[in-house]
Amino acid sequence: MRVISLILLFSLVWISCASHDPIQGYGDTSEFRLPTGPYAKLAWVPEGKSEVFVSSRPEEVILSNGIRILLLADASRPLIQLEVRLATGNRDDPRGRTGVARLTADLLRSGGSETWPGDLLDEELAFRGASLWAESSFEETSVMAACLKEDFEDVFAMLADVLMNPSFPTAKVELALSQAKSLVRQRNDDPRQAATREARRAFYGLNDPRSRRMELQELADLDRNALVQFHGEQYGSRAAMVAVLGDFDRDVMLGQLEEVFANWPVQSAGVSEHVLETPSSESRRVYLAARDDVNQTEIRFFLEGIRRDHPDFPALRLASVLLGSGGFTNRMMKEVRTERGLAYWAVAQWSPEWDHDGIFVAASATKSETTATTIQAMLDVMEDFLETGVGQKEFKEGLNRMTRAEVFKVDTPGEILDQASDLRFHDYPWNFHTQLANATLQLTPALVLAAARRHLDPSRLLLFVMGNPADFESPLEQFGEVNLWVNEPVQNTALTSAKPLEVEQGKMWARRLLASHGGAQAWENTGALSWAFQNETDSGTSLLWFPDRFRKVIGAGEAAIEHVVSAEQAWLHFGQVTEYLQGEALEDASLELRFLLPAVLLRLARDGFVVTSPADKRLVLTHSDGAVLHLELNEHGLIQQMDSPLGSFRYGNFGLFDGLQLPMTRQAATGQGGLTHFSGWQQNPDVDPTWFEPPSGG
């Protein structure tokens, strides 16, 4: 009888636990706003009510001359960061002087002031472990500094001096112009960037500030006087804002800011008139930029968009996640990549702007033989989205991904200040993101679909295609009347445009560079190099087997991820999984093979570049494919900075390894990137050829 009673008791307990309903009186979780438990399965636990996350708010103060100040104290580290934002940018370039805003910002830092010339500034900042940089975007210019708390007064004085009293030394201006001209000459080397740029020009029109591009003829007419004039007219206290983050005393900081900026006059130029609306069309426009030097087609769709303060922004933001910007689960990626294997990547999203209408953009890249198929697939995805709408499960998953990610956008003091700074700089209310979050939580599938239908009309899209039409599987006329888009041809003008003296000086500095790094003969005798690396996020080993093989292993053991570039193939291998890289990912992988510092030295020793020198300790290397590298040497003839398609990096702490002088540190030239440490350089290590053979089944 006792046994039977126990069996009945356990049966009742099992039935209760297997029920979807909780056992009353157990597991009170009311503090999390959930019904009481326990539950037999995690999936049965109901979700709690979502609430809007509200981040900290910086203090806002207005200086006597109207400059807006944002202060956010953070005593967790003895550091201070300061950013000055000016309401002048690339859209303020005078007609016929495209690029002057960017060059002016660049020269603030590289040229410095009379008190703090650029080279002296480099040394002083490096000694203090501080950074100072300036950059210009389409609608604004930023000048920033970061340093230890104890050095702030001195570093702030440097920033203020170069901001308000730049010297624009002629030699630095000429160097910057030379680099800008090189960028113009190589701007078509990357088809992805070229297609996006030219599609914008076709969409906005050639005279719109949003579509201007630098031209050699315009750069030839620029000089120091043009930069001095732009600075005098566009840099000033009107509409300026200063954001400060770190370990500081509020009153002391405000006193310093008032003392430095109180007498900064307003800029002499009047308030700029900016285009706020985006052009629209009543029918589809199709443009073809024909190139016979590519085997892949770049596809772009453009349509007029909205501002961030548009009532439909919350719905279109979620529609973007569902349609084409939500990782690998959005409809565009599922159809174009996962289901049909037409492209490595595909996106579709609304990209709003702060003070002018943004755009809707859909983009992808595919092999030439599937161009029309991919275009039609992308159109089908957009049309199906508008016709069938959003299912409840799809809506809920997309909404959860988007809302849960919001907290991670402001989970550090720096991100909090950046978000607040964007709002106040563009005169948006403090609670804009709270309003946006509340509006997002009120969305329904029907509201998202209605907004998408108001702002997406596939029949009015601009279609821009860059590729080789001779290899297309079918003509583009099926999508509309095709207009040919003329773009300048890709060509290597390094020697024809260089002065004889620059060529001779280039050879001289190249010889000195190789001698300083161990000698040309030593590099000619080097067929492979291996080394270890470590940065803030990754550590591992790299192997460069010249000329066309590169292997990088991140991590160790079963968790290791292997990156391999072999000739014209590249893949990732982790565990039992191999993923072949295509399109942009393949191009990015090949950049390390071609433009890592040891790869450049190996190629230079074998006369693999056209070499010129526009100034002492400066080298311009032009690759056979048209890519241009800018090298800056230190007093010992070693490479201290290299600008290449891989990025701009500074190198330091050189040591002798197997007779070769190689760096032990690398950092982004802006000072913003993380520091990478190198060790264990080894010349001509043992190489297993099977490392570079595609995995079986690939």
Q: Which residues make Cβ contacts (< 8 Å) with residue 680, sequence separation at least 6?
A: 530, 531, 532, 541
Whether residue 435 is found in the same domain as residue 349: yes
Whether residue 368 is found in the same domain as residue 459: yes
Q: What is the pLDDT of residues 526-566, one digit of tens each?
A: 989 999 999 888 899 999 998 888 999 998 887 888 989 88
Q: What is the pLDDT of residues 396-437, one digit of tens each?
A: 999 998 988 888 888 899 999 999 999 999 999 999 999 999
How far is Cα 580 from Cα 377, in angstroms, rounded to an integer?
22
pLDDT category at 209 given cuts 50, 70, 90 is confident
Whether residue 460 is contained in a domain is answered as yes
State the average pLDDT over residues 176-190.
Answer: 89
Whether residue 275 is contained in a domain is answered as no
Q: Which value, to the nearest 10 degrees, does the dihedral of the CA atoms of residues 212, 216, 218, 222 take?
A: 120
DSSP 324: I
Please say if the pLDDT value at position 386 is more than 60: yes
Q: Give ∠ CA 405-406-412 in degrees, rounded to 5.
A: 105
Structural domain containing residue 107? 59-193+208-261
Tell me the CATH number at 342: 3.30.830.10
Please say if the pLDDT value at position 268 is more than 50: yes
Pairing assessment for the beta strands 296-304 and 655-657 based on DSSP bridges: unpaired
pLDDT, residue 273, reads: 63
Helix 224-234 to helix 100-111 angle (10° resolution) is 100
Which of 449, 484, 519 terminates a domain? The answer is 484
Whether residue 412 is contained in a domain is answered as yes
Instruction: Give the 3-state secondary structure of residue 169.
Output: coil
Whether residue 143 is found in the same domain as residue 34: no
pLDDT, residue 47, reads: 56
Whether residue 528 is found in the same domain as residue 655: yes
Whether residue 272 is contained in a domain is answered as no
Pairing assessment for the beta strands 462-467 and 285-290 based on DSSP bridges: parallel
Whether residue 512 is found in the same domain as residue 477: no
Residue 37 CB neighbours (<10 A): 16
How far is Cα 279 from Cα 12, in angstroms, rounded to an integer?
70
pLDDT, residue 525, reads: 87
Alpha helices per DSSP H over 578-624 = 583-595, 597-605
Domain count, the chain: 4
**Secondary structure tally for the chain: helices H, strands E:** 21, 27
pLDDT, residue 560, reads: 87
How far is Cα 476 from Cα 473, in angstroms, rounded to an integer?
9
Q: What is the pLDDT of residues 559-589, one digit of tens each?
A: 888 989 887 788 888 878 888 887 777 777 7
Tell me the CATH number at 634: 2.50.20
Whether residue 476 is found in the same domain as residue 513: no
Q: Which residues make Cβ contacts (< 8 Å) with residue 408, sequence separation at least 6?
A: none
Closest CA to 509 of 650, 629, 652, 615: 615
The backbone torsions φ and ψ at residue 138, rounded to the nearest 5 degrees and listed phi first, read -60, -45
pLDDT, residue 6, reads: 44
pLDDT above 70 covers a percentage of the chain that reads 89
- Which letter, b or e, does each residue of 437-475 get, where b requires 16 or more Cβ atoms within 10 Å of its Cβ? beebeebebebbbebbeebbbbeebbbbbbbbbebbeee
Whether residue 386 is found in the same domain as residue 300: yes
Q: Are 302 and 327 a contacting pair, CB within 8 Å?
A: no
Whether residue 292 is found in the same domain as residue 434: yes
Distances (CA, A) of 132 to 122, 144, 240, 597: 9, 6, 18, 24
State the average pLDDT over residues 146-155.
Answer: 97
Mean pLDDT estimate for the chain: 87
Alpha helices per DSSP H over 358-499 = 371-388, 392-406, 413-425, 432-441, 445-455, 494-497
Whether residue 478 is found in the same domain as residue 499: no
How far is Cα 222 from Cα 210, in angstroms, rounded to an integer?
21
pLDDT, residue 289, reads: 94
How far is Cα 231 from Cα 218, in angstroms, rounded to an integer?
18
Q: What is the token pair recorded at 176?
A: 């910057």
DSSP 637: S
Q: Which residue has the higher pLDDT, 253 or 592?
A: 253
State the average pLDDT over residues 2-21.
Answer: 44
Q: What is the pLDDT of residues 290-299, one digit of tens each?
A: 998 899 999 9
Q: Which residue has the higher pLDDT, 237 or 492?
A: 237
Whether residue 228 is found in the same domain as residue 331: no
14-23, 117-126, 159-168, 293-302: which has the minimum mean pLDDT?
A: 14-23
Alpha helices per DSSP H over 622-662 = none
Q: Are 257 and 80 a contacting pair, CB within 8 Å?
A: no
State the average pLDDT over residues 46-51.
Answer: 54
HEC string of 395-419? Answer: HHHHHHHHHHHHHHHCCCHHHHHHH
pLDDT, residue 435, reads: 93
Give 482: exposed, middle or buried? Use CB within 10 Å, 0-12, 13-18, 19+: middle
Whether residue 122 is found in the same domain as residue 212: yes
Distances (CA, A) of 271 to 321, 344, 403: 37, 44, 38
User: Is cis: bond before 94, omega within 30 of 0?
Assistant: no
pLDDT category at 610 given cuts 50, 70, 90 is confident
Whether residue 127 is found in the same domain as residue 248: yes
Q: What is the pLDDT of residues 654-684, one digit of tens each?
A: 998 888 999 999 988 765 557 899 999 999 9
Instruction: Give the 3-state secondary structure of residue 545.
Output: strand
State the average pLDDT over residues 178-189.
Answer: 89
How far is Cα 319 from Cα 360, in angstroms, rounded to an integer?
11
Whether residue 274 is contained in a domain is answered as no
How far is Cα 327 from Cα 315, in angstroms, rounded to an integer?
18
Q: What is the pLDDT of residues 303-319, one digit of tens each?
A: 999 999 999 999 999 99
pLDDT category at 42 given cuts 50, 70, 90 is low
Place of tokens 């988007």: 402
User: Is cis: bond before 265, omega within 30 of 0?
Assistant: no
Give 140: exposed, middle or buried? Use CB within 10 Å, 0-12, 13-18, 19+: buried
pLDDT, residue 22, reads: 43
Whether residue 506 is contained in a domain is answered as yes
Please say if the pLDDT value at position 45 is more than 80: no
Q: Which residues make Cβ contacts (< 8 Å) with residue 276, sequence separation at least 6?
A: 355, 356, 357
How far is Cα 536 from Cα 130, in angstroms, rounded to an integer?
18
In the chain, the amino acid numbered 654 is F
pLDDT category at 25 given cuts 50, 70, 90 is very low
Q: What is the token pair recorded at 363?
A: 């983009």
Whether residue 166 is contained in a domain is answered as yes
Whether residue 234 is contained in a domain is answered as yes
> What pTM did the predictor assign?
0.65
Please say if the pLDDT value at position 11 is more than 70: no
